[in-house]
Structure 1
Amino acid sequence: MTARLRIALDAMGGDHAPDMVVAGADLARERCSNVEFLFVGDEARINALLDRHPALKSISTVRHTPDFVAMDAKPSVALRAGRNSSMRLAIDAVAAGEAACVVSAGNTGALMAIAKFVLKTLPGIDRPAIASIFPTLRGESVMLDMGANLECDADNLVQFAVMGTVFSRTVLGLLEPSIGLLNVGSEEQKGHESIREAAAALRDTPLARNFHGFVEGNDIAAGTVDVIVTDGFTGNVALKAAEGTAKLYSEFLKRTFASSLLAKLGYLLARGAFGKLRLRMDPRRYNGAMFLGLRGICVKSHGGTDAIGFSNAIAVAADMANHGFNDKIRDQLAVLQAALAASAAAKVEADGQGSEAAVQ
């Protein structure tokens, strides 16, 4: 029999935990046939919920702790005082090899701080990044960083490009994902020094064949590229702006169709089409922000999501684990570093030959 993939769940993280966590795991069990779960949290509450899902209970283990990280806790406090929290113990299970990945709907800052402290970063990765999937006119794209690193240098952005490329191949199933650096214009002279240096570096790597160049904010929804690379400050602003715009248009539609009897009739006639639109734009489909660059797989679910959204976050974690995501990042980084070293050596040799020619 194929070995089951064990996923650690922070059962107490999220606005509707642990009910949402258990119900989401049961939905994920139906989608991912090879998984089993380690629930970390209040044993009595979790077991009472598992009793309602016999099939899920048969593939689940519960690790008791009365402690949890509050949604408004400061990351530094959670890191120091939350050593016995459900979030910390779930992450510890990944570090100890007891679980292949961890999923939590808890405090984002605390999850990143604890995961980075416990799991550490992969060789060649200076900083982990938060990645998220965006719906586009062409399908789906991934953007990183979404808020973990407010300031990034050129090396960070190049590493993000590698991680985003591997994620697109692993989770989105794209063979040759295109890469773009989010900027204030598409011209080569636009943007700050770090982003221009990152563009130059990417052109000297094996990723150059898929490097589109600079992209702007309107290219995100257009699906101009498959991997959008940016610093955490810009990425988080773009994410919140997109979420706000989606809510705005949704509210406009509701008010428009409620404005008159004729408008209500029009809605009834177009109800099927609007159902498809609602499904396409349902944020639960894209739930699950990935912490890329760590020595273990960690997925952050939206804190206010329901069982459907949480099950999607679990599915993302399972995909990454089943496809050896971190091993692929290591391989890609090794290729990238070799290419950069060869490019630097060639440049030094060319400069040396130029100096000799000048002397002669």
Structure 2
Amino acid sequence: MIKIAIDAMGGDNAPKEIVKGVELARNEIDNVEFQLFGDSTQINSLLSNKKRIKVIQSDEVIKMEDEPVRAVKDKKNSSLVMAARAVKDGSADAFYSCGNTGAILVAGLLIIGRIKGIDRPGLITTLPVINNDTGFTLIDCGANADAKVVNVYQYALLGKYYAEKVLKINNPRIGLINNGTESDKGNKIHQKMYQALSQNDDINFIGNIESRGLLDGITDVAVTDGFTGNAVLKSIEGTALSMINMLKDGIINGGFGSKMGALLLKDTLKKIAHKMDYTKYGGAVLLGLRAPVVKSHGSSKAKTVRNTVVQIEQIITSNFVGSVKNYFSNHTDEMDDIKKGEQ
């Protein structure tokens, strides 16, 4: 039985939406037990029943505005820290929170720990594309702004295994985000990244890619540093939200003809909205740790929580972590060579 430790107090809508989402997932998946850390009085009052749900009292909450490192060190009895510690102690298989992103990353690193051989874990998220239902994965989307060549090299391998094991994509295409597709594009560090990736026969490296083609499905895994990745992610999310608002504004203020057109296109618009709904893929995963650490938006509702639980179950049953451990334990010399090349 898979056990997921959940910070039930993390996020803008906690614990109500967290509990609701967990119960949705529990009613659909029969191989998962849930450990909900938080205010037991609040959580128990929201549960319809406690089948495969264990509530663990925590007396503190890490807030969104808290400084991450200090909060994790000082608030040892918080729902977030206690959930992460359950994974470290072996009483849970994965850690999930909708809370303070920085605190989640710190707890993942300091409490759960890195896989041996991985220098810096990368944050990965799956986003929709127009021509398939699998989407594409973006790594790193915000964990490490100042990435070295070896970090991006390792992100490509983490993305490969995630796409293969979790998303079931055979021989996934790996593309390096750059300001052009030619091999000599970008600054010196991006050129070194290109050279390192192009020399690895274990990945299907397709070269440099431009971010404008991501939603058209030009790659299965888009790899980059955390600064660029976070900017790309927020640009995509912002553009999608702006387009939806523009459509709504056009329909509302466009007169009778616009409203009739929208009515006729109702089913088509619903399909488009479903296609571009990134929450269906679950949360962002901090890859490279000894166990899955997953983060959803602070504003997440029950549907997103449910989808993320399904994603976590898929990560665990796919043996993603085991595959990554095996690869990096057998390629230590390769990583050392890349680091020497950066000096």
Percentage of matched positions with identical amino acids: 35
Deviation at 1:342, TM superposition (A): 9.9
Give the aligned residue type for 2:214.
Answer: I
2:88 maps to 95
Q: Give a deviation string over 1:154-186, Cα, whole Å, max 9, x none.
A: 100110000000110122110110101111111
Deviation at 1:73, TM superposition (A): 1.1
- Contact kept in structure 2, 1:9 and 1:38, CA below 8 Å: yes
2:18 maps to 21
Q: Give a deviation string over 1:237-289, Cα, whole Å, max 9, x none.
A: 01111111001100110111121011101111111111111211223213300
The reply on whether 1:215 has 2:209 as its aligned counterpart is: yes
Q: Specify which of 71, 74, 77 is matched with residue 81 of structure 1.
A: 74
Give the aligned residue type for 1:302.
Answer: H
Q: Specify which of 107, 118, 141 is matched with residue 111 of structure 2.
A: 118
> CA distance change for structure 1 residues 343 and 151 in 2, over 3 Å: closer, same or farther?
closer
Q: Give a deviation string over 1:315-341, Cα, whole Å, max 9, x none.
A: 111111111111111123245446678
1:254 maps to 248
Hey, what's the Cα distance between the residues in 2 that align with 1:169 and 1:226?
10
Give the aligned residue type for 2:115.
Answer: L
Q: Give a deviation string over 1:73-114, Cα, whole Å, max 9, x none.
A: 111221221211000000000001100101100010111011
- Contact kept in structure 1, 2:174 and 2:220, CA below 8 Å: yes
Hey, what's the Cα distance between the residues in 1 that align with 2:104 and 2:268?
39
Q: Which shows bigger deviation, 76-85 or 32-41?
A: 76-85
- Contact kept in structure 1, 2:122 and 2:141, CA below 8 Å: yes
Q: Specify which of 195, 198, 220 is matched with residue 200 of structure 1.
A: 195
> CA distance change for structure 1 residues 240 and 261 in 2, over 3 Å: closer, same or farther?
same
Deviation at 1:134, TM superposition (A): 1.1
Q: Specify which of 177, 180, 189 is matched with residue 182 of structure 1.
A: 177
Hey, what's the Cα distance between the residues in 1 that align with 2:58 and 2:189?
45
Structure 1 unmatched ranges of 5 or more: 345-360
Hey, what's the Cα distance between the residues in 2 that align with 1:81 and 1:224?
45
Q: Specify which of 23, 30, 34 is matched with residue 33 of structure 1.
A: 30
Give the aligned residue type for 1:307.
Answer: A
Deviation at 1:223, TM superposition (A): 1.2
Hey, what's the Cα distance between the residues in 2 that align with 1:336 and 1:190?
28
Alignment RMSD (CA, Å): 1.7
- Contact kept in structure 2, 1:37 and 1:61, CA below 8 Å: yes
Give the aligned residue type for 1:171.
Answer: V
Deviation at 1:312, TM superposition (A): 1.0
- Contact kept in structure 1, 2:198 and 2:207, CA below 8 Å: no
Deviation at 1:293, TM superposition (A): 0.6
- Contact kept in structure 2, 1:41 and 1:62, CA below 8 Å: yes
Hey, what's the Cα distance between the residues in 2 that align with 1:292 and 1:222?
25
- Contact kept in structure 2, 1:144 and 1:164, CA below 8 Å: yes
Q: Specify which of 39, 59, 63 is matched with residue 70 of structure 1.
A: 63
Aligned length: 336
The within-5 A match list for 1:236-251 is 236-251=230-245
Give the aligned residue type for 2:13.
Answer: H
2:141 maps to 146
- Contact kept in structure 1, 2:128 and 2:277, CA below 8 Å: no
Q: Specify which of 5, 12, 15 is matched with residue 8 of structure 1.
A: 5
Give the aligned residue type for 1:145.
Answer: D
Q: Which one has the largest radius of gyration?
A: 1
> CA distance change for structure 1 residues 119 and 85 in 2, over 3 Å: closer, same or farther?
same
Give the aligned residue type for 1:283.
Answer: Y
TM-score (norm 1): 0.90
Structure 2 unmatched ranges of 5 or more: none
TM-score (norm 2): 0.94
Q: What SS is found at the alignment partner of 2:239?
A: helix
- Contact kept in structure 2, 1:188 and 1:214, CA below 8 Å: yes
The reply on whether 1:224 has 2:221 as its aligned counterpart is: no
Give the aligned residue type for 1:29.
Answer: R
Give the aligned residue type for 2:131.
Answer: R
Q: What SS is found at the alignment partner of 2:10?
A: coil
Give the aligned residue type for 1:281.
Answer: M
1:289 maps to 284
> CA distance change for structure 1 residues 261 and 46 in 2, over 3 Å: closer, same or farther?
same
Segments ≥4 residues shifted beyond 3 Å: 334-344
Hey, what's the Cα distance between the residues in 2 that align with 1:283 and 1:203?
30
Hey, what's the Cα distance between the residues in 1 that align with 2:73 and 2:84?
15
- Contact kept in structure 1, 2:26 and 2:52, CA below 8 Å: no
Hey, what's the Cα distance between the residues in 1 that align with 2:246 and 2:71?
40
The reply on whether 1:333 has 2:328 as its aligned counterpart is: yes
Q: Which shows bigger deviation, 265-274 or 328-337?
A: 328-337
